[in-house]
Amino acid sequence: MENGIKDKVVAITGASSGIGKATAIMLAKQGARVVLGARRADRLEELTHQIIEAGGQAVYVVTDVKQRNDLLNLVQLAEEKFGRLDVIVNNAGIGHLSRIDELQVEDWEEMIDVNLKGVLYGIAAALPVFRKQGSGHIVNIISTSGIKIVPLQGVYAGTKNAVRTIAEALRQEAGDQLRVTGISPGFVNTELADHMKDPGIRAAMMEQIDKIAISPDAIASAVAFAISQPSNVDVGDIVVRPTAQN
């Protein structure tokens, strides 16, 4: 069976840990050339070395998705090192959970900057390359929080559903030259909860993660599945969650 991943050039944001790291390792093992972006240079360097030592191809550049130029640099690196870009995985994300009436406006702004504007910056950086090539694939890591709306997650879910809406419009506008995939993870064993500011919420989330969370590899497998399909097959939305998650 033909490997639809081998030799594809894939840029990944938030690649230094969690879903991004698992995706980079899995795709590289299947022959993709991965271009890694995240804020932590030491982790990026370690991951790149790990992939190369295992026989894969990887490069990295420090990338803060809140900065549009950083996304442009990520895409430029793909072109400089590998001559093209086939896929961008908009994975970087942050979650601050609180009641809306607590008015954590700075947290709202950060989630909008990372979860929404960061994805838009990734799309804006990749689209001109995809148009020039006549092909490309945008994969957005969204969340089940945007599917089942619950208290404390209103703004977080709002940013994720904004991405879902924008991506669907892009898919319809794009014609047959662009594929757009949304992947919505449920509880996954990542560092997302570590950055939640409220100690009580953070503890509750981490307890739930300890009980039911699935491996980031499960999400990486979904990314690999979408990317590996023939060019005329567009995988729209994939939901991946623990069987124990309501």
For the annotated catalytic residues, the residue numbers are 156
Close Cβ partners of 215 (under 8 Å, ≥ 6 residues apart): 22, 188, 189
Report residue 141 as tokens. 């890591």
Cα–Cα dist 226/215, whole Å: 18
Measured in residues, the chain has a length of 246
Which strands form 87-90's sheet, in the order they lie side by side?
57-62, 33-38, 9-12, 87-90, 136-141, 178-185, 237-240
Q: Find the farthest-apart pair of alpha carbons in the chain and give their distance in angstroms, rounded.
A: 54
DSSP string, 83-98: S---EEEE--------
